[in-house]
Amino acid sequence: MAPDDIGQDRALLCSETTSYRISLEAYKEFSEEINVRRLHLFEFEDQPWFPATIRDCMTDYLSHVVNQFNFYEAIVPILEKGVNKSQCCRIIDMGTGAGGGWPKLAELLVQRLPSLQIVLTDFYPNYSSLQRLVSNGNSVMTFEPDSIDARDVPDRLRGLRTQFLSFHHFNMQDARRILQNAVDARQPIAIFEAQKRDVAHLIQFALSPLGVWLLSPAIRPFKWSRLFLTYLLPVVPLCVFWDGLVSVLRTYNEDELIELTKSLDQGDSFLWEIGECRSGFIAIPYLLGYPR
């Protein structure tokens, strides 16, 4: 190929990439323009009667997907700031599920905060996955075997409270309780979601059963029950589909987060930062609150 042809080829490639980006941007803008009202429908995962075997398969899937991508790297400075605002070098992760994102996050954070401890907690602990995660030779992380309610964290668990992809599970009243509990205990809190309440995320999350079908054989710990509940009796993909769509519809937007922080007693004794971290094609909305 002559050098000129190579140049033309590159130009073509660039213009194709640019037009692809423009159409992706246009699609996102279009999607954000449509106002999707917040709907607090039920999620299977939240139901006390929901079998732990299925719930664990769902949190394992979520954790597997998050761990495949490095999209939490962008939030490391926010977590570092939150830890520095607390009295101790500890993170208390609430609604931890199977600990999605923590292996990489722990590695990155310890480079900046060498004495950091990370305690993984959940209302419905996923014992097999958490046991596996903390016994992986990584002494930074431990998990709390007791059920821990994000709305009422025991006093003994002190440090930066974090929540990943779980704040939307709580209705306005309970979401407020979570923030109020942090304010009352004077513990900083950082909340992250991986979705916004818009059409683009509804479409994206509607496709999640495909991910479950494709990725399940690679998810660890290996369980025959996972394969049975994914391929023979496809309860896991169906529940991931429903809970995924409902998660998008339940996600708080910036205005609602501001409203929540304003509704707190002594809320102004905290500084609140609300924003969005970009990591490649993923936007991570967050809320960080810490004592003034």
Ligand X SMILES: C[S@@+](CC[C@H](N)C(=O)[O-])C[C@H]1O[C@@H](n2cnc3c(N)ncnc32)[C@H](O)[C@@H]1O
Q: Under the criterion CB under 6 A, does residue 123 sit at the interface with ligand X?
A: yes
* CB 17 to ligand X: min, Å: 31
Which residue number, 59 or 187, has a Cβ lying nearer to ligand X?
59
Q: Under the criterion CB under 6 A, does residue 63 sit at the interface with ligand X?
A: yes
Q: Under the criterion CB under 6 A, does residue 46 sit at the interface with ligand X?
A: yes
Q: Under the criterion CB under 6 A, does residue 153 sit at the interface with ligand X?
A: no
4-12, 71-79, 120-128, 135-143 -> range binding ligand X (CB under 6 A) = 120-128
Q: Under the criterion CB under 6 A, does residue 50 sit at the interface with ligand X?
A: no
61-69, 106-114, 212-220, 258-266 -> range binding ligand X (CB under 6 A) = 61-69
Q: Under the criterion CB under 6 A, does residue 230 sit at the interface with ligand X?
A: no
Structure tokens at 178: 């979570």
Q: Under the criterion CB under 6 A, does residue 169 sit at the interface with ligand X?
A: yes
Which residue number, 163 or 261, has a Cβ lying nearer to ligand X?
163
Q: Under the criterion CB under 6 A, does residue 149 sit at the interface with ligand X?
A: yes
Whole-number Cα distances in Å, 168 to 30, 64, 82, 205, 290: 23, 20, 21, 15, 20
Q: What residues numbered 85-114 form the site for ligand X, per CB under 6 A?
A: 94-97, 100
Residues in contact with ligand X by CB under 6 A are 45-46, 59, 62-63, 66, 94-97, 100, 122-124, 149-151, 164-166, 169
